Amino acid sequence: MNSPSTHTGRVAVVTGAAGGFGTAIATELARRGADIIAVDLNPADKTVAAVQEAGRKALALQADLTDPQQVEAITAEMLEFAGHVDILINNAGAFPFRDIWELDFAEWKRIQGINLDSQFLMAKAVMGSMRDGSWGRIVNLASNSLGLAVRDMVPYMAAKGGVIGFTRALATDLAPHGITVNAVCPTASSTPGGKDFIGDEVLEMVAGMQAIKRVGTATDIVGTVCFLSSDDSAFVTGQTIVADGGLMRV
């Protein structure tokens, strides 16, 4: 695949980068010229190998992104590796079903932490570097489930709704510094996480409700994320773009 070098010289941090959407996004950003810092709770060796195969530098970091101290520690490592950060893709998340009658506060907080708090902590970690360079792109992964009637997803939808609110507010605060902030809503897809939590039968059912009637893949959101992290989107901020095959309409 020959991609335009729209990200040449940029340094991109991708969270949740050990597989699925994260690997696909990091790999394509590398093909377009960016060096990659792959952050995940698990080893991101596969992603690093793909980035290096694309001819770019890569660093893998392991951290619990709900822990401010761990985020602070990897921030120092990121800046030591690259000197600056231009792009943040907040992809880390968890996709659990939880019966509201069984949900306790500890689990509620855990799901908010993974899906929302981690995005706040990572944005805080890198936006100073972006401000110093008068250029930055933050892309937050939300979910098309916000527009659907799906059971047992109260804490997840609450967190992803928070992502959209966070995106809109942060876009206003960071615009004077040349930093844009946008959100992307994917659909349930045939990533390892999607298969584990949803299963092939439900993925096929979801695909049948879409205008584009095939199961989503990790690469289906890559083009949207790359656009929002490039110079081409310089006049786009505070927006939520749904890349889900035409299931949710906004």
Topology adopted by domain 11-241: Rossmann fold (3.40.50)
Range with lowest mean pLDDT among 96-110, 134-148, 152-166, 188-202? 188-202
The count of C-alpha atoms lying within 13 angstroms of the C-alpha of 15, restricted to the half-sphere facing its C-beta, is 31
8 Å CB contact between 82 and 131: no
How many CB atoms are closer than 10 A to CB 136?
26
Which sequence spans correspond to the domains of the chain?
A: 11-241
Question: pLDDT of 55-88, one tens digit each?
Answer: 999 999 999 999 999 999 999 999 999 999 999 9
> Which tokens go with 200?
């092939």
Does residue 156 carry a catalytic annotation? yes
pLDDT at 3: 54
Among residues 156, 160, 163, 245, which one is catalytic? Answer: 156
Sequence-distant (≥ 6) Cβ neighbours of residue 13 within 8 angstroms: 36, 37, 39, 78, 85, 87, 88, 89, 122, 126
pLDDT of 156 > 70? The answer is yes
Mean pLDDT for all residues in the chain: 91
Q: Decide: residue 173, CB within 10 A, 0-12 exposed, 13-18 middle, 19+ buried.
A: exposed
Question: pLDDT of 104-142, one tens digit each?
Answer: 999 999 999 999 999 999 999 999 999 999 999 999 999
